[in-house]
């Protein structure tokens, strides 16, 4: 049990890390596992012949007659749509989830997410026809929309300021664990005929049940309670999560933020005002950039990508498992360093590492992999190492920061609405990559690596000039301590108020 004092511009906040609060973090972060499982499972399922024969017989036939071109083997819009449709549903659901977070609270929204996951897992695992399969897929998407909206917000609101980064990154950690479990499940059931795909889809129900149970154990966040007028419960919740009785300073600050929030009748309208430009721009750009690192080309299609380089089926699946392990382990680097060295340094370091890996892989493939034939064994090994180094740097930077930054930079009045924009932007661009990557690979060939490298360069410049450091700043003091003192963003802030006086 540790005792620490969070910093506020004026008064310190006391907190202890109790066993109960750690349990709450872990239960809530479990929502990330559901998302990760969905990311990891669909690529493997769509590669299973039994699944294709049952639902997509035409695609199966086409696969048998597949073009021999290395880069175009798997280019098929329908196949990509199965993977990507979930993200369209999540995109739309995130706006409903934002409303649910505000009106019902963060905890019931997490519970709703778990219910969607359980029903979706049952439907898709047992699906007798395409209609129920797709309905299941859509419900998974709704669950992802609800979970991805409520869980990072929950984590950022219950974490003490000095550990907020680490606690929030538990969500990303569970995403990576979910992806890895899905990779392992795919690997294990690929040869279970004819129901391997049913096991893979249905197993998502187990973590769904766990999340549902967890949603009864965790408490509601103090901010959400106070925002909805339950001040006494808000104080109790704060005492419980901080592990100390004296929470007056922090409570005052949350109450002040919520009073300001009450003056705003329509959060989405408020998001369109000048002073919301800084957090909204950052929340949206961070999500677009996260997806344009190209990470999901690897997460969705790693086995396909490795087959493109000439690996046999098992070798390709195994390489996907290896990248999955690298993804999980590297996330710990972020957990221990984000509140010490800060968000900006991690993001900038990763841009350099990702750029080198992308250009390196691009050059090797451009020079050595033609439409027919395979890559030399040693070179293929080098590319796998580069892919692992790429995943590693993503895992301690753009992966976790994509969820952390948007959850901590909005004031209470626009927090859930602003975060909904972030989630839906993430889903939109995840959809685009899922839908377009295989076609892009077919048309751009090795050039696809240079395409992503150019994006990585752009995002590095964005971080350098436009992203302020938010490490250790209490979540309800961003306006005063971040936006009002930033050389570019302060121009968007109102002149009056505490913060304006500081600039
Ligand atoms: C991203 C996912 C990605 C995952 C990889 C998450 O932060 O939102 O799109 O697949 O990281 O670990």
| Coil vs helix vs strand at 95 | helix
Confidence of residue 212 (pLDDT cuts 50, 70, 90): very high
Atom of ligand 1 nearest to the CA of 291: 9
141 within 8 A of 86, measured Cβ to Cβ: yes
The overall average pLDDT reported for the chain is 90
The predicted structure's pLDDT at residue 80:
75
As a whole number, mean pLDDT of residues 392-421 equals 95
User: 27 C-alpha vs ligand 1 centroid, how far in Å?
Assistant: 19
Q: Is 324 in the pocket of ligand 1 (CB under 6 A)?
A: no
The predicted structure's pLDDT at residue 501:
36
Phi, psi (deg, nearest 5) at residue 47: -90, -5
Q: Is 296 in the pocket of ligand 1 (CB under 6 A)?
A: yes
> Nearest residue CA, atom 8 of ligand 1?
399
Span 288-314, pLDDT tens digits? 999 999 999 888 777 767 777 777 767
Q: Is 172 in the pocket of ligand 1 (CB under 6 A)?
A: yes
Cβ-based neighbours of 492, under 8 Å, separated by 6 or more: 274, 275, 277, 278, 483
| pTM, two decimal places | 0.91
Alpha helices in 371-477, H assignment, sequence order? 377-395, 398-408, 412-444, 447-466
Q: Does 503 score more than 60 pLDDT? A: no
Cβ-based neighbours of 502, under 8 Å, separated by 6 or more: 480, 484, 485
Q: Is 148 in the pocket of ligand 1 (CB under 6 A)?
A: no
The predicted structure's pLDDT at residue 202:
97
Q: Which of these ranges, 8-22, 100-114, 358-372, has the smallest mean pLDDT?
A: 8-22
The predicted structure's pLDDT at residue 495:
67
453 within 8 A of 362, measured Cβ to Cβ: yes
- Helices 164-189 and 398-408, interaxial angle, to 10°? 140
Best mean pLDDT range from 78-82, 186-190, 211-215: 211-215
Strand intervals (E) in 199-329: none
Pocket-testing residue among 91, 168, 172, ligand 1, by greatest number of atoms within 8 A of Cβ: 172
> Nearest residue CA, atom 12 of ligand 1?
176
Rounded to whole angstroms, the Cα distance separating 151 from 168 reads 9
Q: Does 319 score more than 50 pLDDT? A: yes
Q: Of 138 and 373, which is predicted with more confidence?
A: 138
The predicted structure's pLDDT at residue 172:
96
The predicted structure's pLDDT at residue 153:
93
Span 167-180, pLDDT tens digits? 999 999 999 999 99
Atom of ligand 1 nearest to the CA of 399: 7
Q: Is 168 in the pocket of ligand 1 (CB under 6 A)?
A: no
Percent of the chain with pLDDT over 90: 69
């Amino acid at each position: 049990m540790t005792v620490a004092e969070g910093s506020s511009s004026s008064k310190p906040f006391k907190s202890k890390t109790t066993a109960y609060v750690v349990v709450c973090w872990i239960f809530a972060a479990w929502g990330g596992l559901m998302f990760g499982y969905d990311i990891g499972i669909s690529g493997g399922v769509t590669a299973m012949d039994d699944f294709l024969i049952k639902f997509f017989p035409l695609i199966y036939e086409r696969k048998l007659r597949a073009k021999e071109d290395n880069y175009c083997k798997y280019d098929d819009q329908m196949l990509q749509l199965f993977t990507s449709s979930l993200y369209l549903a999540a995109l739309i659901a995130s706006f409903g989830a934002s409303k649910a977070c505000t009106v019902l609270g963060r905890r019931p929204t997490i519970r709703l997410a778990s219910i969607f996951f359980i029903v979706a897992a049952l439907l898709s695992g047992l699906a007798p026809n395409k209609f129920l399969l797709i309905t299941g897929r859509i419900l998974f998407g709704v669950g992802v929309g609800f979970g991805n909206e409520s869980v990072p917000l929950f984590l950022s609101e219950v974490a003490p300021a000095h550990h907020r980064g680490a606690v929030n990154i538990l969500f990303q950690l569970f995403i990576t664990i979910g992806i890895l479990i899905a990779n392992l499940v795919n690997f294990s059931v690929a040869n279970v005929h004819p129901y391997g795909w049913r096991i893979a889809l249905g197993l998502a129900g187990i973590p769904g049940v766990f999340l549902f149970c967890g949603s009864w154990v965790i408490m509601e966040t103090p901010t959400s309670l106070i925002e909805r007028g339950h001040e006494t419960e808000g104080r109790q919740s704060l005492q419980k999560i901080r592990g100390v009785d004296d929470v007056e300073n922090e409570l005052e600050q949350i109450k002040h933020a919520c009073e300001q929030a009450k003056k705003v009748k329509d959060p989405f309208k408020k998001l369109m005002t000048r002073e919301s430009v800084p957090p909204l721009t950052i929340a949206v750009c961070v999500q677009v950039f996260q997806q344009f690192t190209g990470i999901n080309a690897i997460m969705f299609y790693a086995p396909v990508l490795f087959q493109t380089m000439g690996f046999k089926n098992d070798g390709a699946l195994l390489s996907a498992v290896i990248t999955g392990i690298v993804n999980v382990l590297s996330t710990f680097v972020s957990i221990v360093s984000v509140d010490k060295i800060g968000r900006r340094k991690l993001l900038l370091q990763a841009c350099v590492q990702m750029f080198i890996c992308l250009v390196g892989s691009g050059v090797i493939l451009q020079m050595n992999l033609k439409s027919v034939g395979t890559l030399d064994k040693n070179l293929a090994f080098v590319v796998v190492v580069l892919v692992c180094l790429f995943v590693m740097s993503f895992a301690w930077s753009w992966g976790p920061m994509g969820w952390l930054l948007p959850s901590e930079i909005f004031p209470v009045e626009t927090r859930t609405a602003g975060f909904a924009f972030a989630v839906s932007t993430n889903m939109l661009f995840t959809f685009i990559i899922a839908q377009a990557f295989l076609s892009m690979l077919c048309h751009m060939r090795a050039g696809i690596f240079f395409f992503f490298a150019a994006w990585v360069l752009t995002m590095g410049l964005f971080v350098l000039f436009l992203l302020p450091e938010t490490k250790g700043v209490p979540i309800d003091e961003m306006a005063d301590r971040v936006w009002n003192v930033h050389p570019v963003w302060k121009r968007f802030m109102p002149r009056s108020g505490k913060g304006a006086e500081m600039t």
